[in-house]
Amino acid sequence: MCLSRKSLYTMEVFLLILILGLASSRIDCQNIIGHGGSFNVLDYGAIGDGRTNDTQAFLNAWRDACWSGVESPVVIIPQNFIFLVYPLTFWGPCNSNKIYFMISGEIIAPSSLGTWKGRDASEWVVFRDVKGLTIDGSGTIDGQGKAWWDHSCAHQSYLKGCTRLAPTALKFVSCNETSVSNMYVNNSPQTHILVLGCHGFNLHNIFINSPVDSPNTDGIHIQSSHRFSVTHSIISTGDDCVSIGDYTSDVEINNIVCGPGHGISIGSLGKSGNIVQVESIHVSNVYFSGTTNGARIKTWQVGRGTVRDVIFENLLFNSVQNPIIIDQHYCNVQGACKDITGSGVKISNIVYRNIFGTSSTDVAINLNCSKYVPCTNIVMQFVQLSSATPWKIVSADCENAYGQEYGVGPSSCLLQS
Ligand SMILES: *[C@@H]1O[C@H](CO)[C@@H](O)[C@H](O)[C@H]1NC(C)=O
Ligand SMILES: *[C@@H]1O[C@H](CO)[C@@H](O)[C@H](O)[C@H]1NC(C)=O
Ligand SMILES: *[C@@H]1O[C@H](CO)[C@@H](O)[C@H](O)[C@H]1NC(C)=O
């Protein structure tokens, strides 16, 4: 009890810092706009009434900013306007190594699926090959995902013409040295923020929100990227708060409130039998509330390669279904994957430290590792989990998991190496 009260207090302070962080961001914007040239979408004919197609104005403002000779051009999306934009890509490389995108107003997606006819249904707003991009401004991006969720095969596979692929709200491809801060990203048809092939990418003070029953709406998904961080953010969605895909390293996830959602996941990895390379992942100071998973690692049996040097620390769980879970037998449809002998992604050097809170199921710790490629060097220190239902007992289940523990309850089932 004492612990949870203290933790709650910590959360309040943390939320306060988040709010203060947002309030101070306006001042920063003013400073930035003072330097370099500014390119306001209104000057390019955007109307911002929430109904007019403002796509071309956005593209033209971007083109001029990107091609301008000024040192740090700023694209301005002013506040008190709602801009309707259709699928669009902001292309780099730009002339400047530093380009600002100040979103203070709201950007909304078209709400009808028909808009994507003949287009790539996986994207809406895309930044590609841009270096040194800073997105800031306390604005909102709304993917208007409802029509997509209603047509998703994930919820109703019997529906004729149901959709499997839906747009990502914000997608970054090959964008080195990017920073995105002080933004609201809501109701994406699928993943909210997707980072692909980016070196040096920081997300800070991001609020992501979509309904708990919206399918495949990951908060943030990172793939093939290095030096990534997400800090001081609140994520509530219908899928993972943050998920880390194949070929990713040097990831820092810090000061996050996650829930509802599926937790923070490394994986699923190795789906197509590829060689996974995921390492140096640090997840700390996360509060999970009512999520299906907490700290999760999931790999497909067909995968190969490694996941190593992962630290999960200072986590607090409030009624989470699988607080700590490693699943090396991951399969998206239960029972649909054949048991594969001989392969598997090697999982090693995983630390779980200072982890407290409650589980809503009987199994609080589940380390389900492969017979062929066992998990090794798992370290658990000061992990204390109890049932969300008073007086109920929770357990730890392990298979082929080797390592050491200290101060763990429910007493874990690690095998001595
Ligand atoms: C909106 O404008 C863009 C850019 O001019 C254009 O490509 C697109 O077809 C327009 N969409 C609609 C539905 O008018
Ligand atoms: C991004 O950085 C990586 C690693 O430093 C480099 O190999 C790659 O060429 C860079 N890409 C761009 C588009 O600048
Ligand atoms: C591990 O996963 C396999 C396949 O999904 C399942 O049959 C088994 O019961 C699981 N073991 C534990 C300890 O959860």
Q: How close is the Cα of 368 to the center of ligand 3, in Å?
A: 6
Pairing mode, strands 106-108 and 123-128: unpaired
At 24 the pLDDT is 45
At 18 the pLDDT is 47
pLDDT above 90 for 332: no
Nearest CA to ligand 1 atom 12: 53
pLDDT above 90 for 106: yes
Q: How close is the Cα of 88 to the center of ligand 1, in Å?
A: 9
The closest-lying atom of ligand 2 relative to the alpha carbon of residue 92 is 13
Taking residues 254-265, what's their average pLDDT? 98
Distance CA 307, CA 189 (A): 30
Q: How close is the Cα of 188 to the center of ligand 1, in Å?
A: 20
For residue range 13-30, what is the model confidence (pLDDT) as tens digits?
454 444 444 444 444 444
pLDDT above 60 for 221: yes
pLDDT above 70 for 357: yes
At 10 the pLDDT is 52
Taking residues 177-203, what's their average pLDDT? 98
Taking residues 223-248, what's their average pLDDT? 98
At 338 the pLDDT is 82
Distance CA 20, CA 9 (A): 17
The closest-lying atom of ligand 1 relative to the alpha carbon of residue 53 is 1
At 31 the pLDDT is 46
Nearest CA to ligand 3 atom 9: 368
Distance CA 8, CA 2 (A): 10
pLDDT above 90 for 154: no
Whether the bond into 323 is cis, omega within 30 of 0:
no
Determine whether the shortest distance from the Cβ of 60 to ligand 1 is under 6 A.
Answer: no
Tell me which residue has tokens 């609201």: 184
At 3 the pLDDT is 34
Q: Which of 417, 313, 294 is nearest to 365 (CA)?
A: 294
At 341 the pLDDT is 84
**Minimum-distance ligand to the CA of 92?**
2
For residue range 291-322, what is the model confidence (pLDDT) as tens digits?
999 999 999 999 999 999 999 999 999 999 99
Catalytic residue among 192, 221, 262, 327: 262
Please report, for residues 35, 150, 171, 208, the alpha-carbon distance to residue 204 in angstroms, rounded to integers and kept in the order given: 23, 31, 16, 12
pLDDT band at 334 (very low <50, low <70, confident <90, very high): confident
Distance CA 82, CA 9 (A): 37
pLDDT above 80 for 85: yes
What is the CATH architecture assignment of 5-35+76-416?
3 Solenoid (2.160)
Determine whether the shortest distance from the Cβ of 368 to ligand 3 is under 6 A.
Answer: yes
Which sequence spans correspond to the domains of the chain? Answer: 5-35+76-416
Taking residues 154-180, what's their average pLDDT? 91
Q: Is 327 a catalytic residue?
A: no
Assess contact for 315 and 288: CB atoms under 8 A: yes
Rg (CA), the chain: 22
Q: Which of 60, 141, 53 is nearest to 105 (CA)?
A: 141
Q: Is 35 a catalytic residue?
A: no
Percent of the chain with pLDDT over 70: 91
Determine whether the shortest distance from the Cβ of 366 to ligand 3 is under 6 A.
Answer: yes
At 36 the pLDDT is 57
At 47 the pLDDT is 98
pLDDT above 80 for 148: yes
Distance CA 285, CA 264 (A): 12
At 339 the pLDDT is 83
Distance CA 354, CA 352 (A): 7
Distance CA 97, CA 128 (A): 14
pLDDT above 70 for 233: yes
pLDDT above 80 for 335: no
Please tell me what DSSP assigns to residue 121: T
At 69 the pLDDT is 87
pLDDT above 80 for 4: no
At 372 the pLDDT is 93
At 260 the pLDDT is 96
For residue range 375-415, what is the model confidence (pLDDT) as tens digits?
999 999 999 999 999 999 999 999 999 999 999 999 878 99
The closest-lying atom of ligand 3 relative to the alpha carbon of residue 398 is 13
Assess contact for 365 and 357: CB atoms under 8 A: no
What's the N-to-C CA distance of the chain in angstroms? 35
pLDDT band at 111 (very low <50, low <70, confident <90, very high): very high
